[in-house]
Amino acid sequence: MNKEDIGDVVVIGGGISGIQAALDLATTGYKVYLVEKAPTIGGKMAQLDKTFPTNDCSMCIESPKFIECDRHPNIEILTYTEVDGVEGEAGDFTVTLKKKPRYIIEDKCTGCTVCSEYCPVPIPDPFNQNLASNKAIHIYFSQAVPLVPYIDENCLFLKDKKCSICVGVCKNHAIDLHQKAEKRVIKVGAIVLAPGYEVFDPGLRGDYGYGKYANVVTSLDFERLLCATGPFEGEIRRPSDNQHPHKIAWIHCVGSRQHIPGGNSYCSSVCCTYIQKQVILAKDHDADTRATIFHNDIRSYGKDFERFYERAENLPGVEFIRSYVTVGKEIPETKNITIKYATPDEGVKEEEFDLVVLGIGMNPPVDATSLATTFGIELDSRGFCKTNPVNPIETTRRGIFISGAFYAPIDIPESVMAASGANALTGELLRSRRGTLSKARVYPEERDVSEEEVKVGVFACHCGANIGRVVDIPSLVDYSRTLDGVAHAEEGLFICSTDAAQQIANTIREKGLNRVVVAACTPRTHEPLFRDTLREGGINQYFFDMANIREHCSWVHSKQKEEATKKAKDIVRMSVARSVNLEPLQEFNLPVNKTGLVVGGGVAGMTSALSLANQGFEVHLLEKESALGGMALRIPTTLEGVNVPEYLRELIRKVYQHPLIYVSHDATITDVSGYVGNFVTTVKSEGRIKKIKHGAAILATGAGEYKPTEYLYGTTDKVVTSVELGEQIAWKEKRLTEAKNLVMIQCVGCRQEDRNYCSRVCCSHSVKNALKIKEINPKLDIYILFRDMRTYGFSEDYYREAAGKDVKFIRYEPDDKPRVEALTEGGKEVLRVSVPDPILGKRLAIDADLVALAAAVIPSAGSHEVARLFKVPLNPDGFFQEAHVKLRPVDFAAEGVFLCGTAHYPKHISETISQAYGAAGRAATLLSQDTVTASGSVCEVKETDCISCGACISVCSYGAIEFHETPKGKKASVNSILCKGDGLCNAVCPTAAISLKHYTDEELLCQIDAATDG
Amino acid sequence: MDYNFQPKMIGIICNWCCYGGADLCGVSRFQYPPHIRLIRVMCSARVDLLHIVRAFTNGIDGVFVGGCHLCDCHYVTNGNFNAFSMVQVGRKIMERIGLYPERLRLEWVSAGEGIRFANFMNEYSAEITKLGPLGKAEGMDDTTLAFKLEAVQKLIPYIKLVLTQRLHVPVRTEEAYQAFFTSDEFDRLFEELIADKMAISLITSLLREKSLSTGEIAETLGLSPSEVTRHIIGSSRQGLIRYDVNTKSYALS
C-alpha cells in the first residue's frame, strides 16, 4: 500500500462539522482524509446568508476554515468522492473510496473560469437552489475549495459527444472529458461521520402550494435570495416576476411537528430562530417590508435567542400570529398568494401576500440508509443515526463517531462542539498513534526587506455586498493609490476566499510588496488568516494591518453611503500610515505543559477530565464540594429514560480510578497566573494549598436552580421547584401518589426583564416529570401552564405523549400570569391556581395539591470569581461568553482556556456531555503540541533612555521586567516570555525608554496624525 | 451654534473588550454617526497622554479611550485602572487650559456589549457636536490653543512620574478610584504638583514670544494676577524669568 493511502482518520462530510473535526484532528497530530461528495467542502452552512443570533455573514466566518483545511499539512481533501465500502474494525479500517469524474485535472486547473464563460449550456445553479442559472461546467461557488470546476451531467459532450469548447479554451489543458471514476483504498484507525442533514422537501406533497405556485419558496431558497452572492446579488426578488416583494409571510413548522404521512413528528430545533433572522434581514434590505410570521410555539431556547426573538418582534411592520394556516389560492394576475388563518377575535381570515416563505425542517441525509449499511451502523426510528444515550458522539459501531446533525436536528454550534468531541473520542482510541504520521507546515523563507523602499499593497474587500453596498470600493481603491507608500491597490469580492488569499501571496511576490493593508472586516477574526498569507508571500507577518471598514463602517453607517465611503478612506489612510512604520517581528516557541486542569466536578467537568486522561494527558479536577457529581446528583432520570444516578456512579468511579486524574475536593482557586501552555493555578483544598502547573484549563463550573420568590414558594411546602418535584417522584412520595391535582408553572424567573433568557431545559423537565408521575399516579390531573412549549428536537415526541396521556397544557401570556393563592375555604386550606384560559375565554381556577415551578437555570455562584481569576468574560446573564457563538463554542478568546456544560448556558445532560467532549477535544489540540508560539509584540527597552525609575517594573504584574546591572548602572530589561504585550509599562515610562513593539508611539501617533490629514 | 459642524473624533480602544464591543455593534447593525475613527491597542493602559495631546493638537474635537470594565481587564495588570487615572488627570488639565474636559472621554465596553457601544457613540457624538469645534467653542484662537497644548506636551514625562508616584491609588477597586479622583486630596495634589508646573510652563512659553506684563499674562492664560505673580516670583528666583525695567514687563532670562 502506498504511504499516502495510510492515515489515521477519515472524516465523511465536508460541512462545517466535518471541517471542524478534520481541523481539530489534524492539529492534534492525526493524518486526516476529509471526504465530501459535493464538488467543494462547505456544506449547508455555505448556502446560508447570515447566522443567528449575531447575524454574522455565514460565508465570511466559514470560508477561513476552508483555507485552514486546504493549507493544513495533515489534511487531504477529497471532494466529489463517495464511500464504497468499509472493512475492518476500530483501529484498523480499510475504506474504499470512489472519486466521481469531475472531468477536470485538478492539478492543472487554475480556477480561471474561462471554461464557464465559453460553455454554451445553461443549467439551474444547485448552489443557488436552482433560482439562478449557471453553466454545465462551473465552480460550485466562488470560495470553493478546491477552486476547481466540475462538469454537470447536462454537458453536451457527456450526453451526446457534441461539444468540447471548454477543452479548447482551457489554456492549461486541464479538462479531460474522458475521465473515469477512480477507486482508492485507504487505511485508517477511526471514522468520523459528518454527513449532515437534508432539508425537508415540501415539493413531495406540494405543501402550501410549493412547486405549484411560483411565489412560495423554502427558507433555504430565501437564504439565497437574501445573499449577496445569490441569484439577484442580494436583492430580494420573487420568482414570478423578479419584483421586490413588500408583503412577506413566513410559515413555521413545515414538515416538522407533524403526525401526518410525509411529515416529521419531531421539532427541527432551528427554524424558529432562522425565521426571525430572515425577518430581521428582510427588514434590513427594505425597511418598508411588512412581515407576517405564522407560528406555533416560538422556541427561542438557545443562548441569546430570546433577545433575538424580541428584536424581530419589535421591528415595525412585523407581526407574529399564532395560528395554523392553509394556503388559499394564487391570484392569477399578480401571482400573489392568499393565506387563511384563525384569529381569536375575527374568526378565519384570508390575507394576500407577495411572497410566502416556508420554514422547512431538517431530515436525515437522503442516503442515511445506505450510509448505515456501508458503515455497519444502526439508525433510529426517525432515520437519524442511533447513538449512545449518554454519548451522542458514539455510534453503535466501535471506532465510528458522528459529528453534526446526523444524530438529531441541531444548530451550528452544537455541530462544531460535536466535531471537537469526535476529536476527543478519536484521540482516546488512537492515543498511541498521535503524531506518528503528522507533518508540520513549511513556509517559504522570509525576505529581508530592510533595504527596500516601502511598498504597501492595499486590498479592499466588497465582502459580497456587506461592504460594497455601502462603501464605494472602486473609489476607495483609487484613493488608496494616491497614498504615500502605496505601490498596489486592488479590490475583491471576498478577499478571504482561498483563491483571493493565494492571489495576495502571489501579488506580494510579483510586485515586491513589503507591507499589506487589507480593508475588510475585523482583525479579531481575520488577522491570523492574512498574517498567514503574508508568510506565504515570503514577508514578515507583522507587516500587516487590517482596516476595519465593515464592523466599524459599512455595518454601522449603512444609510450614509457618502460619509461611510469618506470614513473608509480615512480608515485606510490611517492603516497605510501605520503599516509604513511597522517593523518585522520574530515570534518564539514556548514549551507546553501537557497537563490539563478542569474546574468543576459535575457531569461536564468529569467527562472532559476523563476524556483528556484517556487521551494520555494528566488532569487535575477541582470540585468545590466534598463530592463529585454537581447538579446531576439531583436529577433521577432524563426524558429519554437514562438512569442518571447509575450513570453518575459509573462516571465517578472511572474518574477516581483513572491513574492520570487527580481530584481535589472542597477546592477553591485563590490565584491563576501564567498563560497558554504554562498556567499556574493555586488551589486551596481540604486545608492544603497547592500550586498546579498546567497547559490548558477547562471551566465547567455549572449552574444552579433559581430559588423562586414568586407563587408562594417558600411559604408552603405545597409549592416546589421542578427539580424538587423530580426528586420527590423518584422517592415516590406519598403526597404525590395521593394527589389529585398538580399544576406546573413554566418560565419562573426567566424570560423576563431581569433574566431575559430561556432556561432551555424546563419544558422538557416538566414533560418528563408529568410522564413519570403518571406512572405512579395515573389518575392525577396535571396542568402545565406555559408560554411556549419549548420541547425542541426529539423531545417533541414526549410532549405529544404527555398530551396524549391527558396532561392539560394551558398557555398564558406574560402580562397576565397565573396566580397562586393560599385560601381557607370551609375550614380547609386550599391552594388555588387561577389562569386565563385562552380557549374558554375565562379564568380557570384549579385547587392544587401541589404546584411545581419550572424555575430558571442560573449561573453557579462561583462562576463570576472563576471568570475573574482566568480573565474570561461573562455575558450579561452571567454565563461564560465563548470566543465565537457559532464557530468557537467551547473556546474562550483567551488562549488555552475552554468551557463546557451549563456554565456556558442551560442544557440537557446529553448536550453537556457532547460539549464536554468538545472542550476535551479542543484542549487536546493544545496539549498535544510540544510548543506554542508566543507573540512578537512584546516590550523592549532602549537602555540609553532608561533612567532606572522602576515605574515599569512596579506596574508589570507579570513580573516580566527586572533591573539588570550595566556599566552605566541599573537598567530595566524585559523577559519576552513573560511579557504579554499589554503596553502598560510603555504608557507609564516617563522617558519612553520602554516600548511595546507593534504598538509603538511612532506607530500610534502616525495613525492619529493620519486621522486628520486627509 | 454651527449646524453643519461635523466633529472629528478618535477612539483608542482595547482589543479584547471595547474593540469587540464595537465589532458586535457592527454585527448587530446598530447605527451611530460616522464621526469617529478607531485605533486598536491591546490594552487601554497603552494609551498615552501624549496620544491624547497629539490628537487635540491636530484639531480632533473629541478623544475617547475605551477599555474593559474595571476588574475585567484581559491582563492581570488591570491596566484599565491606569487608563482611568490618566484620563482623570487629562480632563483636569483640559479644564485648566480652558478646554471642555467633556471632549476627553473614558468608557468601558465589554465584547458582549454592542448596544452599549452604539448608545455611547450616539450620545458622545451628540455631545461633541453640541460643544462645537475644538478651541473655537471655548473662545480660544488657534495660536493660543497650540501653545497651550505644546506646554502640556512638554510636561508629559513629569506628569507620568506624578501619576505613578504621587497619584497612585493603593486599592484597585472602582469605588477607591472614584473616591480618590473626586476627593479634595486629589484636587490639592493636582494644584500642587501639576497645575503650578503647568502655569509656569505656559508662562515661559508665552514669554518666549515676547515680553509681557503681569496683567497681560493673566489675561492670556485666564489666571488671576495674584497667581501669575506667585509663579513669576518663584520662577524669577530660579532665574528663569527676569523683570525688564524699561518695558515694565517680564521676559525669559
In this structure, what DSSP letter does residue A901 have?
Answer: G
Least CB-CB distance to A551: which of B27, B31, B160?
A: B27
**B10, B63 Cβ separation under 8 angstroms:** yes
Residue A450, all three cell numbers: 530592510
Angstrom distance (rounded) from CA B183 to CA B170: 15
Tens-place pLDDT, residues B118-139: 999 999 999 999 999 999 999 9
* Distant-in-sequence, close-in-space partners of B131: CB < 8 Å, separation ≥ 6: B61, B62, B100, B102, B103, B137
Chain A residues in contact with B82 by the CB 8 A cut-off are 955, 984, 987-988
Place of cell 465596553: B109
Residue of chain B with shortest Cα separation from A566: B34
Place of cell 502616525: A1006
- Average pLDDT, integer, range A820-848: 90
**A883, A893 Cβ separation under 8 angstroms:** yes
Q: Does a structural domain hold residue B231?
A: no
Nearest to A234 by CA among A245, A223, A243: A223
Angstrom distance (rounded) from CA B192 to CA A189: 75
Q: Does a structural domain hold residue B248?
A: no
Q: What is the end-to-end Cα distance of chain B in Å, rounded?
A: 43
Beta bridge partners of A739: none
Tens-place pLDDT, residues A258-303: 998 999 999 999 999 999 999 999 998 899 999 999 999 999 999 9
- Average pLDDT, integer, range A351-368: 97
Tens-place pLDDT, residues B43-80: 999 999 999 999 999 999 999 999 998 877 878 788 99
Average pLDDT over chain B, rounded to an integer: 91
Task: Report the number of distinct structural domains present in chain B.
Answer: 1
In this structure, what DSSP letter does residue A828 have?
Answer: E
Question: Which pLDDT value is given to residue A974?
Answer: 94
What is the DSSP annotation of A320-382? EEE--EEEEEE-TTT--EEEEEEETTTEEEEEEESEEEEEE-EE--TTHHHHHHHHT--B-TT
Question: Which pLDDT value is given to residue A654?
Answer: 98
Angstrom distance (rounded) from CA A986 to CA A989: 5
Set out the domains of chain A in order of their start, with CATH numbers: 1-99+182-197+364-442 (3.50.50.60), 199-362 (3.50.50.60), 456-583 (3.40.50), 595-702+860-932 (3.50.50.60), 705-857 (3.50.50.60), 938-996 (3.30.70.20)
Residue A367 pLDDT > 90, yes or no? yes
Nearest to A99 by CA among A87, A83, A85, A86: A83
Q: Does a structural domain hold residue B221?
A: no
Q: Which of A147-151, A295-299, A941-945, B197-201 has the lowest mean pLDDT?
A: B197-201
Distances (CA, A) of B143 to A778, B103, B136, B208, B228: 90, 19, 11, 14, 20
**A579, A516 Cβ separation under 8 angstroms:** yes
Tens-place pLDDT, residues A989-1002: 999 999 999 999 99
Least CB-CB distance to A54: which of B27, B38, B72?
A: B27
Angstrom distance (rounded) from CA A469 to CA A480: 19
Amino acid at position B241, single letter: I
Angstrom distance (rounded) from CA A977 to CA A923: 22
Question: Which pLDDT value is given to residue A223?
Answer: 97
Question: Which pLDDT value is given to residue A871?
Answer: 82
* C-beta atoms of A990 and B157 within 8 A: yes
Q: Does a structural domain hold residue B226?
A: no
- Average pLDDT, integer, range A791-820: 96
Tens-place pLDDT, residues A612-662: 999 999 999 999 999 999 999 999 999 999 999 999 999 999 999 999 999
Residue A879 pLDDT > 60, yes or no? yes
Instruction: Kindly give the pairing relationship between strand A696-699 and strand A595-599.
Output: parallel
Residue of chain B with shortest Cα separation from A571: B37
* C-beta atoms of B26 and A557 within 8 A: no
Angstrom distance (rounded) from CA A215 to CA A356: 6
Question: Which pLDDT value is given to residue B3?
Answer: 59
Chain A residues in contact with B47 by the CB 8 A cut-off are 987
Nearest-CA distance B235 → chain A (Å): 24
* C-beta atoms of A894 and B74 within 8 A: yes
Angle at B63 between CA B101 and CA B179, to 5 degrees: 50
* C-beta atoms of A871 and B74 within 8 A: yes
Interface with A, mutate which of B68, B164, B169, B173 (most A CBs under 10 A): B164
Residue A905 pLDDT > 80, yes or no? yes
Q: Does a structural domain hold residue B29?
A: yes
Give the residue numbers spanning the domain of B153: 1-183
Residue A713 pLDDT > 80, yes or no? yes
Grouping H, G, I as helix, E, B as strand and the rest as coil, residue A789 is coil
Chain B residues in contact with A996 by the CB 8 A cut-off are 42, 46
* C-beta atoms of B113 and A876 within 8 A: yes
The stretches of B9-113 forming alpha helices (DSSP H) are 18-27, 49-57, 80-96
Nearest to A375 by CA among A195, A172, A576, A520: A195
Percent of residues, chain A, with pLDDT higher than 70: 100
Question: Which pLDDT value is given to residue A524?
Answer: 85
**Sorting pLDDT into bands at 50, 70 and 90, what band is A463?**
confident
Amino acid at position B9, single letter: M
CATH number at residue B136: 3.40.50
Amino acid at position B159, single letter: I
Residue A911, all three cell numbers: 448536550
Residue A856 pLDDT > 60, yes or no? yes
**A818, A812 Cβ separation under 8 angstroms:** yes
Nearest to A459 by CA among A419, A503, A428: A503
Interface with B, mutate which of A50, A680, A984 (most B CBs under 10 A): A984
Nearest-CA distance A187 → chain B (Å): 44
Question: Which pLDDT value is given to residue A765?
Answer: 97
Average pLDDT over chain A, rounded to an integer: 94
Question: Which pLDDT value is given to residue A326?
Answer: 95
Residue of chain A with shortest Cα separation from B157: A990
Q: Does a structural domain hold residue B223?
A: no
Angle at B120 between CA A464 and CA B5, to 5 degrees: 85
Interface with B, mutate which of A982, A995, A999 (most B CBs under 10 A): A982
* C-beta atoms of A1011 and B8 within 8 A: yes
| Residues written for chain A | 1014
- Average pLDDT, integer, range A929-946: 93
* C-beta atoms of B75 and A951 within 8 A: no
Angstrom distance (rounded) from CA A643 to CA A868: 36
Question: Which pLDDT value is given to residue A938?
Answer: 95
Residue of chain A with shortest Cα separation from B166: A951
**A147, A138 Cβ separation under 8 angstroms:** no
Beta bridge partners of A598: A621, A698
Q: What is the end-to-end Cα distance of chain A in Å, rounded?
A: 64
Amino acid at position A948, single letter: S
Place of cell 476500530: A90
**A651, A607 Cβ separation under 8 angstroms:** yes
Amino acid at position B245, single letter: V
Distances (CA, A) of A640 to A205, A234, A383, A780: 31, 43, 17, 22
Chain B residues in contact with A552 by the CB 8 A cut-off are 22-23, 26, 38
Q: Does a structural domain hold residue B117?
A: yes
* C-beta atoms of A991 and B157 within 8 A: yes
Q: Does a structural domain hold residue B58?
A: yes
Question: Which pLDDT value is given to residue B71?
Answer: 76
